[in-house]
Amino acid sequence: MPVNIRDIAKAAGVSVATVSKALNGYRSVNASTREKVQRIAKEMQFHPNAAARSLVGQRSMTLGVFLTTGLSHPFFASLLGGVDQALQARGYDLIYLSQVSWREEYNFVRHCRSRNVEGVLVFGFQESDMDFGELIESRLPAVFIDMEISGSHIATISSDNVEAIRSAVRRLHEWNHRRIAFIAGQPGSYASRTRFEGYREGLAEFRLPFRQEYVIAGDFTRESGYEAAKRLLALPVRERPTAIVCCSDMSAIGAMEAAAEEGLSVPDDLSIVGFDDIEAARSVRPALTTIRQDTQSIGRKAVELLDDLIREADIPSKQVILPTEWVSRGTCAPAP
């Protein structure tokens, strides 16, 4: 029994059409009646029925999020903070699109249509994990976070991974590190790929040789960081890296454990750089030097981008890249 537009029309002594116009701020209705209607609507705690609005062909003000298990990544949690903000500011609600909805029979895109979803946020995938062809063809506006996809009505957003790692290499180089290793993330993921690119560019910039044995693939986890560092530290002493740049804080923390096991002191014998600046980076000992992603802004911007895509006519594929921040803590020092 929520109050509807007719109730307030009666209370205000005007027609429903006038109420609708007044509430939507049309200038074609007399200022005084407009205010009166708005006042009454507020008093009666009127909130329009979203289904009716959506049905009449107008905006549904609904966005979808589609994500994988990646949810458990701390990254997503802080992302949601920014998403929430922007959602509020732009008046959208968010509907969670289940992973299972992505099947042949019960198509994801059609599910969006059926729910009148105006646009989707996609996060947590590797591009290769899934076929986004249908999404792209559907012209349903979409913003991909940390993925490389293009098409019309499509935008992507991510941190400036290349520059972040390149400048990490630069800092380490300034500290006289010459043997700098790299622990990659999930092979094939956008984040790992671009960060690796930054690593190569950084090496190139300072004419440091690229050595295959200094690059170990992982999957962003602590365990994989541990294993990778073990292998790195098993190299002959004179070949051993003096610094390791990691694709995630978790893997950096794993690397720190490996170093401890090998009896190496961080940062005196070995410098380690993480990526993300998750909470654990601060509480680990020594506290982790890392590259902070502005997850809050990524979330906020992603929603804003999606809103733009929805409202503007034909936006060409758009890429947004956000700067990162170097967070100096206790795991980096001049080369031994």
Residues within the interface to DNA (CB under 7 A): 4-6, 13-21, 23-24, 28-31, 33-34, 46, 48-49, 52-53, 55-58
Looking at 153-296, which runs of residues are DSSP E strands? Answer: 154-159, 180-183, 215-216, 243-246, 271-273, 290-292
Binding partner at 291 among its own copies, DNA, none, C-beta below 5 to 8 Å by kind: none
Question: Shortest Cβ distance from residue 278 to DNA (Å)?
Answer: 43
Residue 326 makes CB contacts below 8 A (sequence gap 6+) with: 167, 168, 171, 291, 292
For its own copies, the closer CB: 62 or 317: 62
Which residue ranges make up the site for its own copies (CB under 8 A)? Answer: 2, 45, 47-52, 54-55, 60, 62, 65, 69, 71-72, 74, 77-78, 80-81, 84, 87-88, 93-101, 107, 110-111, 113-116, 221-223, 226, 254, 257, 279-280, 283, 285
- How many Å apart are CA 134 and CA 11, to the nearest integer? 49
Question: Shortest Cβ distance from residue 114 to DNA (Å)?
Answer: 8
Binding partner at 99 among DNA, its own copies, none, C-beta below 5 to 8 Å by kind: its own copies
Half-sphere CA count of 97, side-chain side, radius 13 A: 28
For its own copies, the closer CB: 95 or 244: 95
Question: Shortest Cβ distance from residue 87 to its own copies (Å)?
Answer: 6
Binding partner at 33 among its own copies, DNA, none, C-beta below 5 to 8 Å by kind: DNA
Q: Is the link from the previous residue into 267 a cis peptide, with omega within 30 of 0?
A: yes
Nearest to 60 by CA among 118, 112, 139, 143: 118
Q: Which residues pair with 89 in a beta bridge?
A: none
For its own copies, the closer CB: 84 or 148: 84
Question: Shortest Cβ distance from residue 116 to DNA (Å)?
Answer: 9
Q: Which residues pair with 120 in a beta bridge?
A: 64, 142
Helix (H) or strand (E) holding 78: helix 74-90
Binding partner at 285 among its own copies, DNA, none, C-beta below 5 to 8 Å by kind: its own copies
- Degrees (nearest 5) of the Cα angle 91, 23, 307? 25
Question: Shortest Cβ distance from residue 268 to its own copies (Å)?
Answer: 19
Question: Shortest Cβ distance from residue 145 to DNA (Å)?
Answer: 31
Neighbours of 205 (CB within 10 A): 13
Strand 93-97 versus strand 62-67 pairing type: parallel
For its own copies, the closer CB: 242 or 297: 297
Amino acid at 51: A
For DNA, the closer CB: 37 or 80: 37
For its own copies, the closer CB: 109 or 168: 109
Half-sphere CA count of 151, side-chain side, radius 13 A: 18
Binding partner at 222 among DNA, its own copies, none, C-beta below 5 to 8 Å by kind: its own copies
DSSP state of 69: G
Helix (H) or strand (E) holding 76: helix 74-90
Question: Shortest Cβ distance from residue 61 to DNA (Å)?
Answer: 11
Binding partner at 328 among its own copies, DNA, none, C-beta below 5 to 8 Å by kind: none
Binding partner at 23 among DNA, its own copies, none, C-beta below 5 to 8 Å by kind: DNA
